[in-house]
Every structure is written in structure tokens, then in C-alpha cells.
Chains A and B, each alone.
Chain A
Amino acid sequence: MPSHKLLSLAEAVRRHTWDGMQYASGAALPVGSDAIAFGRELLRQKRRDLHAIFHCNTQQLNLLAGAGAASKAECGFSGLEVFGFANGLRRAVESGQLALEDYSNLAMAVRLLGGAMNWPFVPATVNIGSDIQDRSAFAPDDYPATRKIPTVTDPFSGREIGAFSPLQPDLAAIHVSLADPLGNAIMLGTEWSRFELSRAAKKVILIADAIVDTDCMRQFPNLVRIPDLIVEAVVYQPFAAWPQSSPGLYDVDETHMKFMNKALSTAEGTADYVRDYVDSYADLDGYLDLIGRANIEALSNSTTSFLLDPFRQWIKTPAEIAALTAEATA
């Protein structure tokens, strides 16, 4: 067994992604924890034609869609909550460049659960009777849609319900607050559907804001909702969810959330954004410089900071992480 699974972001994308893949992330919410840095790297490496499985849209899908890297998406919610409509995704849908298949939030969660359990289908007691069942962006001429949420009979009550298709994406890039070098992870804040996604995906890469010693996991094993045995690689990327928030670690960057969404509303703005905020940094230090050191300090001063207190003693320094990485590659 390897002594650790740490991998750089660039290397993780190089090894584990390809054009046309079914890529899952965003099993968080549009303002909170998502592996947005992973999406930036997908763009840096020019991945195309992605089939995005995002329980909710986030700035990651907004960016991938706006930049034309995704051709299909399945979502429960496709806005940016109080930040408004997701302009990049919206532009891609309205132009027909991306087919967006709509579900609800519970539907996406139980479809991931179905994939995790390898069930043939998941009984649907929601989404039935609405246009979510009748309209399919993946089969636009099939109306009412027959393959999206087909009607089935409950064998016990005899009543008609729906059947959801389970999800088993090729890869899940999952944002976590804390991971140890082996891939045990703790998520602070609501985990949304990251538990189900971690079991449904064929391969899991963790994108962690901080790396902790395994002793931390031994102290809080009940909080380790993603265990190392299902994890392929761990990427250390502070502020991985920026400009979104990570409870306990940093607040949402309101200014950049608005700036980014405005940029994504046009092709020109998106090209500028990709030039300035995607292709512009060379390494982790460059990424943090881009966010701004003073900005990082302000965002880290969160009313939720106390949530991190029990774990601080095990957090590894960047130097310790670098040494660990060097040791294994030596």
C-alpha cells in the first residue's frame, strides 16, 4: 500500500480525465464547497465535450459551460442561489451548445444513491406529474418523455410511480475540508450528496483545503464519511472552492462571485476570465496570489472558523506536504 495518495492538481487531471467523459462534481451547493479548482484545471488542459453530473450547478459548471467545455449536464438546481442566474450555463443552454437535463435536488441525490447501490432503478415519488418527467433535453422529440422517468407500477400498492435512472459517473472530483494523505476525509458543513457521490462514481479524487495527519481521523472516525479505501487520489489545494465558501475555512468571496458570473455572461468576458483566472497561474503559490493574500486573510476570518478548532493540531504545513510528496516520488 502506498504511504500516501497525494497528487498535484495538474497530474490528477492528466491521469484521470478525458474528453467526452461523464464527470461529476458540484455535489455541494452553488455557494458552498465544490472542487472549482479542478474545473479550472480541466479547462487549462483543454478537456472538451464533458457530460457533467452536477447535483447543483456551481461556479465550476458555470465556468465549464460558459467556456464551451461541456456539451451535456444533469442538474437538480442550475442557478447561483442569491447570486442569481448562472450566466455561463444559461448562455450555453439558450444557444443550444449544452443540453441540460433537469431533475430536482432529491432526484439527483437518490439517483446517486441508486448508482452507489448498483440498483437497476430508483423509485420516484417526486418529479412525477410535472414537466421534469415529461420533457427531456436529451430526447427533445420524445414527448411526453418515455425514457427519462418512465412510469412503473409499485408491486405492493399497485399505484403508478416513476423510475429514476441511477448515476455512476466515470469520475468524481469531490471537495472536502480535510483529508489525510491516504484519502480519509472530513467535510465541515452540510455534505449535500458527497457521501452518495463518493460511492456512486467509478473513481474518486478528493480536493482538500487542508491535509491532516491520519491521527486526526483516528480521533474522529465517525466524522470520516469518505474513507480511503474508495479514494484514488488526494489533491492538496487551499481555497479549492474559491470564490465559493468552505465552512470552517473561508467565506464566500462576494465580489468575485459577482465579477465571475458577470464575465461569464458573454463569450468575450469568458475568454478574458479564462485568460486572467484560469490560464494565468503556474503553481499553487500563483493560484493563491491570484486570489490575493489580503483577500485570503479577510475571507479566512469567518464566523464559522471555530468549526475548524478541534482539527487544527493535525493540519500539516505546506512544507510537510511537499516533503511527503517528494519522499514518495524519490
Chain B
Amino acid sequence: MSIDLPYSRQEMMAIATGRELKDGELAIFGVGLSMLAGYFAQAHHAPNIRAMTEGGVYGATPVGGLPWGIECNRISANATSFTSAIDALGCLVASGRCDVGIIGAAQVDKFGNVNTTGIWEGDIGDSYRLPKTRLTGAGGANDIACGAGRVVIMVTHEPKRFAEKVSYISSPGYLDGGNARDKFGFVGGGPSAIVTTLGILRPDPVSKEFILDAYYAFSSVEEILQATGWDLKVSPTVHVVPEPTPEELAALRRVDETGALRK
């Protein structure tokens, strides 16, 4: 890894995530880095993306940098409609209308299940004992994971965050793999990519196990395997992700005015 890169790893992750979004899609972004990735896409290659937050803020573009929350004044200064949680997460996501969502994760496993609830030593077991570390809970990510057409998961690539099996499923990926989601009739299709600070993982079309699809100019297959807590399979077509273009970087930095991705 180089300290001479003209962009940070977090910026590469945000840009790679933003590239997953297409112009015109109905999209929902979680709080924090997900929002920067989403609004980067809008500022760069998807000007007609129909972006919303789970609070029901529509038609808005953040001003003054990364919003502190999805209802922050930074994203309330130029909205065209304010509604409610039931409208955004229910009428527009649970209904099946939403094309794509971006969510974060504290921990993710090989079937794309996300844990944002807590960290336990080992299996929780039959009794729901207290977590060693309590996290933030599911928020709207469970609803997005159940309802959005596809979901992009953004996560820092470290062994402790990439577990064979998460200790608590806060937001469902492909559960036990294969067609396990079918039993629950989710309207959404599940995670299409896990975009990390080191590369991009995508699900095998049948087993739904996530495999390494691409690495960055500053990372390598070897580094990613070492940073993954399960026996990660490598796609036969594994390739390098194009570096951010000057236009992409400029667009991202216009959105990330306070430099949250460079800290």
C-alpha cells in the first residue's frame, strides 16, 4: 500500500460503491459513508438517480458536507418533499419499488449477512446473553436488505469484520446460502456486492457464497485473502478495479466537503 496515493482507501471504496448505481434508479442510502457514495453517483454519472433517505427526505442534495444523520439540516435545506419512515421504508422499499440500497456493516459473513447489533465472544448460545460490545442495531438496514431490488454493502476490510458466520444477523443477506431467502418471500433480491477498502466481492449465482471479484490498484489478492476471516474463493476472472478518474474524485470531494473520507 502506498501513502502516495492521490486518494484514500475510503474514497476508493466510496467511488467503487457509487459505480454500482445506475442513472434513473430509485435508491436509498443509509447514514454515513453510504450516503457519500450514493450522492457521489448522483454528482458524477447518475444525475437522474431518484435518491431518498429512510426518513422520507426526497429531492435533496446535502449541503456543507456529510450529514450527521439522515434527517440532518444538511439534507433538509433543499428537499422537495418531507414525509415519514413508513412512507420511505414501507411504501417505497417494502413495496418492491426501490431498485438499490447501500448499507454499512460492522461484520459481514460469506453469505452477505450483516451484523450491526453486537459483538459476542463466540456463539451467543441458546440464551440471549449480554453482548461484550453493543452496536447500533439494525435501523433501516434490515428493511432495505429485505426490500430493495439489490443491496450494496460497504465495509472496512479486516479479518474481525469478515466472519465465516456473523454472531447475530441484523440484516439478511443470503442466510444459509442457496435459495434460503425464498422461504421468507422477501421482495428484494439480496446483496449484489460487498465493496470494501481492499476490493469487491460478489455472490456465486448458485451457492450465493461471496467470492473475490476484484482488487484495487493498491491492494492484492493475497492481502485480501489475509484480511478475510473465512476461506475466500477467488473468481477465475478476478481483476483490478480502475482507479478513480480525476472527474470522479472531484465529484466525490464536492459531496464530501468536510473530508470525512480522508480522515
Contact = CB atoms under 8 A, between A and B. Distances in A.
Q: Do chains A and B interact in one complex? A: yes
Interface of A: 28-33, 55-56, 75-79, 81-83, 85-86, 89-90, 93-96, 100, 102-110, 113, 125-132, 135-137, 140-141, 143, 159-161, 188-196, 245, 247, 251-252, 254, 257, 302-304, 307
25 contacts: A29-B71, A30-B69, A77-B136, A77-B137, A78-B136, A79-B139, A94-B132, A96-B130, A100-B134, A102-B117, A106-B89, A108-B85, A125-B185, A129-B172, A129-B184, A130-B171, A137-B128, A140-B128, A189-B57, A191-B84, A192-B56, A252-B72, A303-B63, A303-B77, A304-B77
A157 to B, nearest CB: 8
A126 B142 contact: yes
Nearest to A108: B85
Contacts of A31: 67-69, 71-72
Contacts of A252: 68-69, 72-73
Contacts of A190: 53, 55-57, 71, 76, 82-85
Given A29-B70, A93-B134, A192-B85, A82 B77 contact: no
B93 interface: yes
B66 A82 contact: yes
A104 to B, nearest CB: 4
Classify chain B's interface size: 35 or more
A83 B90 CA distance: 26
A94 to B, nearest CB: 5
A81 B183 contact: no
A82 B30 CA distance: 11
Interface string B62-98: 0110111111111011000011111001100110000
B128 A143 contact: yes
Q: Which of B57, B64, B170 has the largest number of chain A CB atoms within 10 A?
A: B170
Given A31-B68, A31-B69, A81-B31, A131 B140 contact: no
A62 B216 CA distance: 40
A160 B113 CA distance: 21
A189 B137 CA distance: 24
B165 to A, nearest CB: 12
Contacts of A307: 76
Contact of B84 (A85, A143, A192, A302): A192
Contacts of B218: none
